[in-house]
Amino acid sequence: MAHVNENHIKLPGSYLFAEIARRVNVFKNEHPDAGIIRLGIGDVTRPLPQASIDAMHKAVDDMAHESTFKGYPEYEGYDFLIQKIIDIDYKKRGINIQKDEVFVSDGAKSDTANIQELFDLNNIIAVTDPVYPVYVDSNVMAGRSGELGKDGRWSKIVYLPCTAENKFMPELPKQKVDIIYLCFPNNPTGMTLTKAELKKWVDYARSEKAVILFDSAYEAYISAEDVPRSIFEIEGAREVAIEFRSFSKTAGFTGTRCAYTIIPREVAAYSADGQAHNLNRMWYRRQATKFNGVSYIVQRGAEAVYSGEGQKQVQALVGYYMTNAKIILEGLKAVGLQAFGGVNAPYIWVKVPGGDSWAFFDRLLNEINIVGTPGAGFGPSGEGYFRLTAFGSRENTEEAVERLKKWNIT
Ligand code: PLP
């Protein structure tokens, strides 16, 4: 008899987006002509940079000739892409990363979900709350979460509330934790940490021999000077941090798939006898067994992001979305709603009048036909907030703000 992994049974269905889709469908059936504007999903809408398109066309031609044809890619990525990542994303900012510390992958989602495999099931994990759900769910599937309480919290997971009261900056945990997921710029709050704040976490991890899993999928959206683009800007981080990055939101690769993870040689986890084990080599071994690499064509497309033209086109993409963010932020403020984020990130986190994020969702959908994401779906501390994204078209973003301005909120 095949026995099921009971951890999977514990996991509630993907309630958030399924429930959003259900409510939108009910509304659409009742109001087939309503012009619904979706500012809920975290997916991009602009096409790929032309430099990537050209490079991928050329790479397709490479596959047509025996002399340039490629078979299985290397698990950790092609040198041509790794070198660009090292030189442009790190060396230019004064950070030294070695070639064998870069792992090209098909997504920050898969890497942030899979990395927990390297750690013992008894580790205590800490997550910011609200949180990108992948960190929590992947630990539930593995059996590291304990039981789900009525308050929406898993019994063995340590939640670090991020609300307006603490300026959306998590406080160090009161109890000892072993693995800390940090995502800055943050999804869903759109808020960031300063270097001084991030240093507190690096110092904590060093003193506790903990590991920080730092998701910087939205790094390209940072404009402020004192906001670190990489955790490796912080002294000592190489000993305790793994960093995840993605071309998805930087260069519109959500459907093309390319990302990378940096695991410094120094970062370690410990066996029961106290011996340090090199996570970099363990991840290499894991990927060699379970991952087939990213296709040559896609890696050529990612490489082109770093060309002169590619960099200009990516800046234009980010600029487009950040102009949307500004339009949304100003619109919300003009109607008296308190809003956060949207300056160094493509997410705007709105304080909900009345505090019920699903009630606000329904009103926004029914009264002005705008779809956003209720904060409660990102964790208990997300209740009372609502996420809007800057990834829509300019036209839709402007129209949404016009509707907001005409809306009788109270
Ligand atoms: N990390 C965060 C915080 C995200 O919000 C997302 C996507 O929404 C991802 C990772 C996924 O990135 P990728 O498309 O590279 O899998």
pLDDT-derived band at 42, boundaries 50, 70, 90: confident
Domain that holds residue 299: 53-307
Domain co-membership, 277 together with 199? yes
Residue where a domain terminates, one of 273, 289, 307: 307
Asked whether residue 188 is domain-assigned, the answer is yes
Residue in this structure with the two tokens 């093309």, named with its chain if needed: 256
Residue where a domain terminates, one of 307, 326, 358: 307
What CA–CA distance (Å, rounded) separates 388 from 113? 24
Query: What b-and-e string marks burial along 73-101, b requiring 16 or more CB atoms within 10 Å of the CB?
Result: bebbbbeebbebbbeebbeeeebebeeeb
pTM: 0.97
pLDDT computed for residue 395 by the predictor: 97
Residue 189 in contact with ligand 1 by CB distance below 6 A: no
Burial of 14 (0-12, 13-18, 19+ CB in 10 A): exposed
Residue 248 in contact with ligand 1 by CB distance below 6 A: yes
pLDDT in tens, 326-348: 999 999 999 999 999 999 999 99
Residue 252 in contact with ligand 1 by CB distance below 6 A: no
pLDDT in tens, 135-193: 999 999 999 999 999 999 999 999 999 999 999 999 999 999 999 999 999 999 999 99
Residue where a domain terminates, one of 281, 307, 333: 307
Under 8 Å between Cβ of 382 and 130: yes
Pocket-testing residue among 187, 216, 256, 298, ligand 1, by greatest number of atoms within 8 A of Cβ: 187
Domain co-membership, 298 together with 324? no
Q: In ligand 1, which atom is closest to the CA atom of 109?
A: 16
What CA–CA distance (Å, rounded) separates 78 from 71? 12
Up-side HSE of residue 166: CA atoms within 13 Å toward CB?
15
The pair of three-digit structure tokens given for residue 140, joined into one six-digit string? 């539930």
Which CATH number covers residue 206?
3.40.640.10
Asked whether residue 117 is domain-assigned, the answer is yes
Domain co-membership, 368 together with 224? no
Domain co-membership, 200 together with 325? no
Nearest to 40 by CA among 382, 361, 399, 407: 361
The Cβ of residue 274 has, within 10 Å, a number of other Cβ atoms equal to 7
The Cβ of residue 217 has, within 10 Å, a number of other Cβ atoms equal to 24
Count of structural domains, the chain: 2
